[in-house]
Structure 1
Amino acid sequence: MLKQIKEGHVKAERHNGVMTIEFSHPQSNSLPAEMLEGIAHEIHGAGNDHETKVVILQSAGERAFCAGASFDELLAIETVDQGLRFFGGFALLINEMRKCPKFIIVRIQGKCVGGGVGIAAAADYAIAVEGADVKLSELSIGIGPFVVGPAVERKIGLAAFSSLAIDAAMWRDAEWARRRGLYAELHGTVTGMDESIARLANQLAHSNPEAMTLLKQSMWKGTEHWDQLLFEKAALSGRLILSAFSKTAIQKFKKK
């Protein structure tokens, strides 16, 4: 299935029990609202598909994995309701990832910013290549990593999350992310990364589906309140993005 999105796409293909979901956007795989909803829809569908045993989530291209929120859409937000709808897209996606009864492997072939770090953190198993550096840049544009924060903190701990959130201009390299558990594996080449993903996906496709579902539920225990929490966090970002500080900061970023 291929869903065309303005300047991008979300597509899903199943082969031998493995559902591969790919998103693409020409602006470093940034995430407009329609893209967020499209990915969440495909993950929800994969979770309900009896023939799907495991999910691989990836982005297109050879460079950035995900640049986070779409700056064009952030600048277009004019009301609190519009802000809630946009950031609610990140809440929806993370919640679909955690509630999907199938394990989700995330393939990270390049840098992760903002919401991209949130996707990596919401993965059940993230496999990356060297050069897949990470940054939570939200504070530098006048908001904060509120929606992705619970997922990132759950994965790497409060201290590491705090350092990312506070020093919003600082890149942390992929080895830093691996040592703190954001990445389960780090490979020197894309070939090595893809071979490992294929091996693990094939292994899981032949594992007991019920056992995997119960194991995933156990791993995500204590996050049941996120259905409400993440949308409350989305409301915070939706309000802050209306400030003159945020609009000016985003314009400066776009000019770089």
Structure 2
Amino acid sequence: VLMPLVEVIKGAQTSDEVARRAYDFVKSLGKEPIMVNKDVPGFVVNRVLISLNSAACLLVANNQYSIVEVDSAVKYRAGLPMGIFELQDFTGIDVGYLVGLAVAERDPMLRVPCPLIEDLYKKGWLGQKSGRGFYEYKGGAYERANIPREAGEKVDLVSIFAPAINMAAWLLRNGIASREDIDKGVKLGLGWPKGVFEFADEFGIDKVVDALNQLYSRFNYELFKPDPLLTQMVQEGRLGQRSGRGFYEYGAAGTVEFKEIMLRKEPPLAWIILNRPQRLNALTMTMLEELSRALDMLWDDKEVRVVIIRGAGDRAFSAGADVSSFAGPLHTYYFFLYNRRFQEAVSKIERFPKPVIAAIDGYALGGGLEIAMTCDFRIATERSEFGQPEIALGILPGAGGTQRLIRLVGMAKAKELIMLGDRIKADEAYRIGLVNKVVPKERFEEEVRSFAMRLAQGPPIALTYAKYAINFGTQVPTDIGLMLEAAFFSMAVNTKDAQEGVMAFLTKRRPEFKGE
């Protein structure tokens, strides 16, 4: 078995004791089980996937979007490991077509004919294994389809995901599986960065219902008729993150009740605290998903101008990935997908539109250092230690260490730190340019807060443009980087903040930037 997820299915005659033993047996194998309380066609994960695929296929078949546009949107904006059509090419068009027929025969609700898949099946274009499916292939052992990042910018993700959310609501309302197991299923079984209910709360339940009504009116398939649970949630005002309650509970400030991080807002600052002090704040997929979700919440929060990431306790920022989370066999391909999710969660800091400071007190090792390196600034206490020790485990950095360390300290020192796996002290980290500032332990929070407040007084729009020009302009040839700089400069000049800055300079007063 290649993937970590196992769905444990209770039949009509299965006792609770037998189901529990099966569940425990799966865990003893190092796998992650979810309990499916009733034997329904497609169980949990495939029902959600079929619903997602059906919507995407119909929207493409009816010329609302192209295949590449849909795949680009779900990969680069929603964070799925593969595009919807790319995944079908990988698994095989024949597999998807025949499984779809078998499931629909048992459950008419899932009977949503997709002319695209049927046409490819009849032509014998079965995906990568035949050299052609939704995309064309040249015959490599594992080729990736060419899907441009910018192609999916105009796709309405809610309309793509709404049927999958609708199916998840049906599963929950009918007692097929719990909220937690359904979300766990799509994250482990499909590699989604968030659970289907987490996506729903982020989109807004009312927007999901609106999208379903449009699909149902247009195509008249039962799969698209809003589930009573969703309509009830809208009537009760349980709309997701923005209302404070959806499938999950949210605090008054819009913060999730996180398990492995803490989010503390102190406008104009926000603190994200990696909260596993008993494990030196070692990183798990749950922690990274929660970090990603916290950044999403702060993305366009006008009260917050600077974000600070730090570790809980007094021993570590983060000592790296929790190696116990790698227990159990994992096929190379699925480990690749797992690692890409890790990279995407970390890289979101680099794309975040506001300045982010890594406040480091103690160890910043492995993945912990990789998180710190994606931040815009690093402030460390004198006792802190840094390193990329992965080589001692027979592996190498996997969340950006081989790329970002070079940019900060140069090729020679980066190779030394990565290939020897040595740790360095804070003063050495400052000397080579890995950290911006080293401060005494007793003045740590004061120094971090002071630095953050200086940033918060700056012009928010210009700071975003400057961050993007630096982060992304250095990844392309100099001429293109200069063009990017000129474009951002021209946009910044036309802001009210720029006018305020000039007037403040002329009248010899401190500017008051409003982000306008």
Q: Provide the C-alpha distance between the structure 2 equivalents of 1:158 and 1:90, rounded to a whole number of angstroms.
A: 24
- Structure 1: any 5+ residue segments left out of the alignment? 226-256
From 381, 384, 390, give the equivalent of 1:129: 381
What is the identity percentage for the equivalent residue pairs of Structure 1 and Structure 2?
26
Question: Residue 91 of structure 1 aligns with which residue?
Answer: 343
Question: Residue 410 of structure 2 aligns with which residue?
Answer: 157
Greater shift, 146-155 or 56-65, is seen at 146-155
Q: Provide the C-alpha distance between the structure 2 equivalents of 1:153 and 1:93, rounded to a whole number of angstroms.
A: 20
Report the Cα offset of residue 44 of structure 1: 2.9
Between the two proteins, the alignment pairs up a number of residues equal to 220
Q: Provide the C-alpha distance between the structure 2 equivalents of 1:98 and 1:39, rounded to a whole number of angstroms.
A: 13
Question: Residue 54 of structure 1 aligns with which residue?
Answer: 306
Q: Provide the C-alpha distance between the structure 2 equivalents of 1:131 and 1:208, rounded to a whole number of angstroms.
A: 34
Question: Residue 135 of structure 2 aligns with which residue?
Answer: none
Question: Residue 193 of structure 1 aligns with which residue?
Answer: 444
Q: Provide the C-alpha distance between the structure 1 equivalents of 2:281 and 2:348, rounded to a whole number of angstroms.
A: 20
Asked whether the equivalents of residues 2 and 11 of structure 1 are also in contact (C-alpha less than 8 Å), the reply is no
- CA gap 1:39/1:215 in 2 versus in 1, 3 angstroms: same
Asked whether the equivalents of residues 384 and 426 of structure 2 are also in contact (C-alpha less than 8 Å), the reply is yes
- Taking the TM superposition and a 5 Å limit, the aligned residue runs for 1:156-235 are 156-168=409-421, 170-189=422-441, 191-222=442-473
Greater shift, 124-133 or 46-55, is seen at 46-55
Report the Cα offset of residue 218 of structure 1: 1.8
Greater shift, 95-104 or 73-82, is seen at 73-82
- CA gap 1:41/1:223 in 2 versus in 1, 3 angstroms: farther
Q: Provide the C-alpha distance between the structure 1 equivalents of 2:296 and 2:434, rounded to a whole number of angstroms.
A: 23
Q: Which has the higher strand share?
A: 1
Question: Residue 139 of structure 1 aligns with which residue?
Answer: 391
Q: Provide the C-alpha distance between the structure 1 equivalents of 2:430 and 2:346, rounded to a whole number of angstroms.
A: 20
Q: Provide the C-alpha distance between the structure 1 equivalents of 2:393 and 2:348, rounded to a whole number of angstroms.
A: 27
Q: Provide the C-alpha distance between the structure 1 equivalents of 2:436 and 2:451, rounded to a whole number of angstroms.
A: 12
Q: Provide the C-alpha distance between the structure 2 equivalents of 1:24 and 1:193, rounded to a whole number of angstroms.
A: 18
Q: Provide the C-alpha distance between the structure 1 equivalents of 2:316 and 2:351, rounded to a whole number of angstroms.
A: 26
Asked whether the equivalents of residues 381 and 444 of structure 2 are also in contact (C-alpha less than 8 Å), the reply is yes
One-letter code aligned to 2:436: A
Q: Provide the C-alpha distance between the structure 1 equivalents of 2:311 and 2:374, rounded to a whole number of angstroms.
A: 15
Report the Cα offset of residue 101 of structure 1: 0.7
From 359, 373, 381, give the equivalent of 1:107: 359
From 370, 390, 394, give the equivalent of 1:118: 370
Asked whether the equivalents of residues 343 and 398 of structure 2 are also in contact (C-alpha less than 8 Å), the reply is no
Q: Deviations over 1:70-106 (max 9, x none)?
A: 1111233522344234322331133211110100011
Question: Residue 498 of structure 2 aligns with which residue?
Answer: none
- CA gap 1:101/1:138 in 2 versus in 1, 3 angstroms: same
- Structure 2: any 5+ residue segments left out of the alignment? 1-254, 477-516
One-letter code aligned to 2:450: R
Larger Rg, first or second structure (1 or 2): 2
Q: Provide the C-alpha distance between the structure 2 equivalents of 1:89 and 1:61, rounded to a whole number of angstroms.
A: 27
Classify the secondary structure of the residue corresponding to 2:451. Answer: helix
Classify the secondary structure of the residue corresponding to 1:61. Answer: coil
One-letter code aligned to 1:208: P
Asked whether the equivalents of residues 366 and 397 of structure 2 are also in contact (C-alpha less than 8 Å), the reply is yes
Classify the secondary structure of the residue corresponding to 1:181. Answer: coil
One-letter code aligned to 2:411: L
Report the Cα offset of residue 224 of structure 1: 6.2
Q: Deviations over 1:188-217 (max 9, x none)?
A: 22x322111111222222221011111111
